[in-house]
Amino acid sequence: MTGSPPRPLAGLRVLDFSTTIAGPHCGRLMADLGADVIKVESPEGDLMRSRPVQRSGHGTMYGQLNAGKRAMILDLKKPEAVATVKRLVPTIDILLENYRPGVMTRLGLDYESLSPLNPRLIYGAISGYGQTGPGAGRPAYAPVIHASTGYDMAHLFYQQGRSRPDNCGIFVADYASGAYALGGILAAVHQRHTTGRGQMVDVSMFESLVGMLLGEVNRAQFDYEMPSRPMYGPIEAADGYVMLATASERTFQDLAAASGRGDWITDPRFEKYADRRMNWGLLIDELEVWSRKLSVREVVAALQKHGVPCSPYNTVTEALQDPQVAHRGTLIEIEDSGGRFKSPAPPFRLSGSPVASGPRVAAPGEHTRVILAEAGFAAAEIDALLTSGAAR
């Protein structure tokens, strides 16, 4: 009887110094893929441990970002803790951190200091603006990156009649840079098979978000006339709104059929994509003459019957009730000391190996002693580190 195949990154060991969202998201994905990810926290703990939703003093957001990792505490303000990291480095494959550039250098834990101890080390560093350049030292969190890249002002353009940028509550830059970091790190792992050497992976949150501004980056370089109304926006129904997308000629023709406006297909205002785009406001005005007479459910049913991509505007609670969520296993159950809750699984599935997080969220410092023992520390050395407070 054969067992389950190993997960894709089984055998890789990661020392994860990252905090808050971007780095922990990257580390969680590596844990989901089977890497042994060791979460290293300061004695104060990761900031996300204190963030809501809280149950008995345990935060679910921290759990979502760190499920499946082992946990240890090192006080990097103490020289003994820094020396401990240097003894751990030869036993790992990947180090992940998202401090402001210069912090790890001052500690003597930058790539240049550690690579001689382990030439195969892959060092992933996520920062606001990258490790070099005139902006490298700027402090940054995702909302700051959203503003500095033009993301917020680009988003504002699509909000007709608005002049004040939106508040930020969804941290796109964090998740984008965490995912890009995973890609860069895995590329370095692959190249290591050929060269036998590790390397530095320098990920900029700023560049991660600029890379997502597809239309905006291209329009910024040319004198381009924008349409009268953004092409992707809410369509009004009798009891709410519907989002639809007609990105191809076929979907435009399907929209015309669904709304009973076959005349649009030969209308010179809408027949060609370029004209349709510039006259989009007129098209939507005419479409809403039809949609306002129907409920959201009826509009969606008519559009879906004709193959037009569309959706009602769901709340997150409604979205998680979609049967597709249960079918795909979009949510997995994890557990911390506060109880069980559900957390998003990685959005990819592999046909030849499982991808799933470990079900537990480790308590602060839960594995400190065993990790040090695995790295060859004698019991007396571990006791001394714990007594001094360098480790906990």
Strands (E) in the chain, as ranges, are 13-16, 36-41, 54-55, 58-59, 70-73, 94-97, 122-127, 200-204, 234-237, 240-244, 310-312, 331-336, 339-344
Q: How big is the chain by its Cα radius of gyration, in Å?
A: 25
Per-residue b/e over 169-179, b at no fewer than 16 CB within 10 Å? eebbbbbbbbb
Instruction: Classify domain 234-318 by CATH architecture.
Output: 2-Layer Sandwich (3.30)
What residue type is 254 in one-letter code?
D
Phi, psi of 310 (to 5 degrees): -160, 165
Domain residue limits, the chain: 13-213+329-388, 234-318
Residuewise pLDDT in 10s, the chain (392 residues):
467 789 999 999 999 999 999 999 999 999 999 999 999 999 999 999 999 999 988 999 999 999 999 999 999 999 999 999 999 999 999 999 999 999 999 999 999 999 999 999 999 999 999 999 999 999 999 999 999 999 999 999 989 889 999 999 999 999 999 999 999 999 999 999 999 999 999 999 999 999 999 999 999 999 888 777 788 999 999 999 999 999 899 999 999 999 999 999 999 999 999 999 999 999 999 999 999 999 999 999 999 999 999 999 999 999 999 999 999 999 999 999 999 999 999 999 999 999 887 789 999 999 999 999 999 999 999 999 999 999 99
The DSSP-derived string for 211-239 is TT-HHHHHHTTS--PPPSS-SS-EEEETT
CATH number for 13-213+329-388: choose from 3.30.1300.10, 3.40.50.10540, 3.40.50.1820, 1.10.3720.10.
Answer: 3.40.50.10540
Tokens of 34: 């089977």
Nearest to 141 by CA among 48, 40, 42, 214: 48
Q: Is 243 helix (H, G, I), strand (E, B) or coil?
A: strand
